[in-house]
Chains A and B, each alone.
Chain A
């Protein structure tokens, strides 16, 4: 069995490992690093629940091999909050009831974080288009969109909550 050495940064911490080339980044994060906040929904790139940030950009971790992430800087949902202070997007999701079962939520939150980094004042249409690659079966999306708007306003005005 071929094992390949990789070294990367995950949530600010250096990580080295040996992985089978066929292991996806999602499985590496979940099974080898124990970071199970990243979810497996469809495992072929449709649902977005596996979304992580790679160099600050949203990517589907089920569509990346762990070996490709050698040298990368990865942020998972576990890496968003600063100690016990939630990221403004997380705080807004909580306050606006933007989650029910919570399965899509890590992917939604990280996709929203990536959106707001690039577009700090998105319109509702822009929020919906940006989130269109993340599927939610529970909420009907209304509160998710509102939470992103609320988070955007707070981040622009420099307040976290």
Chain B
């Protein structure tokens, strides 16, 4: 490992202050919301604590445990099969397993409710088959806590799958071969070598999936499962008790802090780096008939349940209603969604790279803390972030407006809070952590010796980033962009609150229809979200495959 990287590496140039500015801006809403914690709340808070709080805690814990087990089981098993084995359909599953990424939790909830509730086709068919005259007493209600857990696992597992697959692929083949020569079979090699080596990536994916699960609003709201997010939403908007809602958010943050600490701890003090010198194409385990069929099943089930079935159902419903729902307004909404998602994704990657590079150059306590605080947005429900953005923006708007009126008799109005700037900023605050995690992991895989070599060959800090690190990290940067893009497409509560007047996205549209129990009519917007979400999933999963080490003469990720 050579000499440890010191805390006080040579001067960071512009990168240190730049990273600090980014961190400060992004953490502003978090700090604003946190500041609300110290405002005395009294009566309302005591009332909440005595009545609904225990059920919020209980439901949130069940969701964490259930979704955690679910995404690990699906994500790790499918990632290992696809990365290390060869069986019919592997190449298709490689990218198909990412497809549920395009389905937001609330969309899958709306769709399965339409399919499985008592007036849905499945129940009616069962009744017909069994000849029952009334509702079947044993028929499970999908709109329940277990239902929410299963559906969330089906759409959040790609976080684990994607990071675990990359980790399995980038593992030193030598280590696995050594373990084989030492008498480990494929199963033991997996348990003793592959899994421990991939642990940081898997833990990272799990943390992301669980944060997403805890932040879910659409599903639990629709299923009537009371969690922190629905509580915050109701307290904030319904009761208008903003400080009490902020305190609920703070409690929710404790859960997330536990996750963040778990993730950091599992990475340990050790920084896994690739051997640097050579890559080798991985020979795979060739699976035969029975095992191959089982592998196909393991990979096909999440794709079918998390994507194909809801997509087909949405397609059939949309086909029946498209004539009335797809119109010029609909196309505008689609464009709006794509636009904000693209802008946010690009900015998020740029900002994450700035922060992560600042950290790589100069790992002071301040820098580390700044990056962590900037990454906290992901922990905070979209609705709370919305408020954290709106409060300071409104303050700036009003101050500037007042000053302009006093000086020039002009009113500038709401030039920040009522605009796309506020919305994109809210998205950035919320999703920067995703791109930051990915970009940091990408940096972590490149030995600092690369920077040193480029520096000694006359490159400035910026030159190192541009000419060496960015090309090496193309896969990571694209992944970061993909994750943010898809999340913005799906984002609901922050969009509902921060969007400019008359600015509709596909997500808000689907939400409004579903709230009115117009599940079939909501299908066009839902399907469009899914379809728009698929395009980058395919494009980027291909790019990731292309830029993979040892697959071609091309560059190495």
A binds B: no
CB within 8 Å of B: which residues of A?
A: none
CB within 8 Å of A: which residues of B?
A: none
